[in-house]
Amino acid sequence: NIEETLVLIKPDGVARNLTGEILRRIEAKGYQLVDVRLVQADVDLLAEHYAEHEGKPFYEPLLDFMQSGPTVALRIAGNRAIEGFRSLAGTTDPTTAAPGTIRGDLGRDWGLAVQQNLVHGSDSPESATRELALWFR
């Protein structure tokens, strides 16, 4: 069941020079890198990407944070890559994400209105198709 998924290295990951470390973990796991872009996201892209979160308390801080610098967008592929990358990433809150995961090893809570959690991974085949079309249009 070969899948493609969208991975974002968010502006905190790029600014902290963790792009190489995160890519290393994805490659070491054995996923194939299909495409990569450095994107300065704008409000239109982010409003589409995060449509499901509109109205939540962290929505505006999230859009501001995601515009604060470049994001690295990755198209990766592999058997069960969607589930597999989410497991590599760890849970949303980096404070309690399991050690061994990207967020658990490299992230923490900075006391901000938005959780800066280094990476995003699509959560389903439908999300992956939709999000890949947005970031690699």
Using CB under 6 A as the criterion, which residues of the chain lie in contact with ligand CMP when the complex forms?
A: 53, 58, 62, 92, 114-115, 117, 120
The Cα 114–Cα 62 span in angstroms is: 6
Which residue number, 3 or 49, has a Cβ lying nearer to ligand CMP? 49
**Is 94 buried (19+), middle (13-18) or exposed (0-12) by CB count in 10 A?**
buried
103 is an annotated ligand-binding site residue: yes
Residue 8: CB minimum distance to ligand CMP, A: 7
Residue 53: CB minimum distance to ligand CMP, A: 6
For the record, the structure tokens of 117 come out as: 């959690």
Partners of 39 in beta bridges: 71
Pairing of strands 119-121, 2-9: antiparallel
Catalytic annotation, pick one of 22, 120, 131, 132: 120
92 is an annotated ligand-binding site residue: yes
Q: Which residue has the tokens 């973990």?
A: 25
Active site residue 53: no
Known binding positions for ATP: 10, 58, 86, 92, 103, 117
Hey, which residues are catalytic here? 120
